[in-house]
Amino acid sequence: MAILGAFIVPHPPIIIPEIGRGEEKKVQKTIDSYHKAARQIAELNPDTIIITTPHLILYSDYFHISPGSGAKGDFGRFGARDVSFSVEYDERFVKELEALSERKQIQAGTLGERDRSLDHGTMVPLYFINQYLKEYKIVRIGLSGLSVTEHYKLGRCIKETADKLNERAVFVASGDLSHKLKEDGPYGFSKEGVEFDKQITEAMKEGDFLKFLTFSPDFCEAAAECGLRSFIIMAGALSGLSVKPEFLSYEGTFGVGYGVCSYKITGEDDSRHFDIIFKEEQSKMVRERIKNEDAYVRLARLSLETYVKSGKYAKLPDNLPEEMIKNRAGVFVSLKKYGQLRGCIGTISPVTGSVADEIVRNAVSAGLEDPRFPPVSEEELDDLVYSVDVLSEAEPIDSMDDLDVKRYGVIVSSGRKRGLLLPNLEGIDTVQKQVAIARRKAGILDNEEIKLERFEVIRHD
């Protein structure tokens, strides 16, 4: 068995005494747990330590693996330049992992490095590990904007690589939890932050890696979590293995959640391929939703599926409700896959002759023309969840006091720049946040004057 064990650890520089200068004592439980985890790693005596870190360069569609023979780093940006590190990379492991990822059609590799120096998400774990273990190589891997299933899939490749090379490997998943636990913390407070840390630590304690995959992106954003995708890669590296969790500690003293947990591998268990379980549950959910789709959503699904399969727009069914044929309105079509947004395109005002034609046009655009995502493939069609928002005519308003995030969508404009945000979105719980996101979508700077409009929607999902 090549993967010997796995560890979830946080990476706050303040726990380094040369940086904390006494403040680190406020999270002594985390420090004590870190030492225990580091001793456990040393006892496993790995040839290679695989570290996933949120603070390596992050691409939306690519996992970066650090290239070359090694790297150096220090805590100079935190006022402790004398605390420095020099590591040797496991080049053979990296080469094999990169080749395997290509064969598995995972977008991962050693291209695109912008800064060779070690990040603090790597150095904080090494600070403790180096006190107990001297001879080892590392593989340093960043996160990406790809789906949770792609992160899990990369973890599977890491496991397969370690098995093939027969190397003694330990996995260290570096990542803090929520950054929004206290009003006086560095990022403020959100109720989602507290709830996220409660749920993630329970999952860590139970070794319930399926839970890692099921957090909604909007909930994670509201919680300002840091390390979830790092933990998901770890879960993939332990896929098919039975584990014995040892939850060592949790603290949120400074408004950021720090969790430490170790996983001892106790054998093989085919019931613990959580990506397969997750996809099966998601597919079942989609099949149930399809049974209850109304005419608006059915038309959106028909439109995209027809175009992807034939390259032609769908003909309107004969049995559509009369209001879909006679009425004109702006329409947004949104697609989700495994709980994550897969595309969203719409029109603020109607550009076709009917709501039905608007749906046909925008469903195809949401699947194939959203610049944030690659075009939907035919293989993905059965996994998509659709929603259709039919917009009322927008009306100008004098101030944000006239908005309600549950009832009204908002249009923010400045000159030719115009940004829209739909109402009643998960994680958008204040008018201020709603307007700020709409501004950002339009590229409107904070110092630019804006005009506000509001609209209502009828949502079909």
Q: Work out the number of other CB atoms within 10 angstroms of the CB of residue 280.
A: 10
Encoding tokens for residue 37?
């985890």
What 8-state DSSP symbol labels residue 423? S
Whether residue 317 is found in the same domain as residue 374:
yes
The answer to whether the beta carbons of residues 152 and 275 sit under 8 Å apart is: yes
Task: Please indicate, yes or no, if residue 287 is contained in any of the structural domains.
Answer: no
Quote the CA–CA distance of 24 and 12 in Å, as a whole number: 10
36 phi-psi bin (left φ>0, alpha ψ -120 to 50, beta other) = alpha
DSSP 3-state of 454: strand
Report the distance separating Cα 372 and Cα 67, nearest Å.
Answer: 27
The answer on 354 and 301 residing in a single domain is: yes
One domain for residues 265 and 404: no
Is 204 found in the same domain as 78? yes
Query: Is it the case that residue 428 has pLDDT exceeding 90?
Result: no
* pLDDT of 267 higher than 90: yes
Total structural domains within the chain: 3
Mean pLDDT for 291-307 is 97
Give the 3-state secondary structure of residue 202: helix
- For Cα atoms 228, 230, 235, give the angle at the middle one, nearest 5 degrees: 90
Question: Is residue 218 one of the residues assigned to a domain?
Answer: yes
The SS3 assignment for 395 reads strand
pLDDT tens-digit map of 113-165: 989 999 999 999 999 999 999 999 999 999 999 999 999 999 999 999 999 99
Query: What is the domain-level CATH number for residue 109?
Result: 3.40.830.10
pLDDT score, position 107: 95
Same domain, 333 and 399: no
Domain extent, residue 259, equals 3-277
- Say which residue the tokens 């929004």 belong to: 180
The torsion defined by the Cα of 238, 239, 244 and 249, in degrees rounded to 10, comes to: 60
Please identify, among 244, 277, 310, the residue that sits at the C-terminal boundary of a domain.
277
The DSSP-derived string for 337-381 is: ETTEEEEEEE-SS--SSSHHHHHHHHHHHHHHT-TTSPPPPGGGG
Residue 426 has pLDDT above 80, yes or no: no
pLDDT of residue 1: 53
Give the per-residue pLDDT at 42.
98
Q: What are phi and psi of 286, to 5 degrees?
A: -65, -45
pLDDT in tens, 441-457: 889 998 899 999 999 99
Residue 221, C-beta contacts closer than 8 angstroms, at least 6 positions apart: 427
Q: What is the amino acid identity at position 71?
A: A
Domain CATH for 447: 3.30.1490.150
Same domain, 66 and 200: yes
Note whether 427 and 445 are same-domain residues: yes
> Are 261 and 215 in a shared domain?
yes
Q: Enumerate the H helices of 292-347 as residue ranges.
A: 295-310, 322-326
- The answer to whether position 285 is within a domain reads no
Average pLDDT on 255-260 reads 97
Residue 213 lies in a domain: yes
CATH number, domain at 333? 3.30.700.20
Contacts of 327 (CB under 8 A, 6+ apart): 354, 355
103 is a domain residue = yes
> Could you tell me the two tokens for 444?
């409107």
Domain membership of residue 207 (yes or no) is yes
- Token pair for residue 160? 């397969």
Residue 283 within a domain: no
> pLDDT per residue over 59-104, tens digit each?
989 999 999 999 999 999 999 999 999 999 999 999 999 999 999 9
Residue with tokens 């904390």: 20
Same domain, 374 and 322: yes
Q: Give the number of other Cβ atoms within 10 Å of residue 242's Cβ.
A: 16
Q: Is the pLDDT of residue 2 over 90?
A: no
- Domain termination residue (choose one: 277, 310, 327): 277
CB of 257 closer than 8 Å to CB of 128: no
Q: Would you give the DSSP letter of residue 61?
A: T
Is the predicted pLDDT of residue 459 greater than 60, yes or no?
A: yes
Does 55 share its domain with 21? Answer: yes
368 phi, psi to nearest 5 deg: -120, -15
Residue 352 sits in the same domain as residue 255: no
- The pTM of the full predicted model, rounded to 2 decimals, is 0.87
Q: Are residues 133 and 8 in the same domain?
A: yes
Confidence label for 201 from pLDDT (cuts 50, 70 and 90): very high
Distances (CA, A) of 24 to 8, 29, 252, 273: 19, 10, 13, 38
pLDDT at 300: 98
Residue type (1 letter), 351: V
| Residue 252 domain flag | yes
What integer is the mean pLDDT of 242-250? 98
pLDDT, tens only, 352-380 = 999 999 999 999 999 999 998 899 999 99
The pLDDT tens digits of the residues spanning 205-243 come to: 999 999 999 998 888 988 999 999 999 999 999 999 999
End-of-domain residue from the set 388, 412, 435: 388
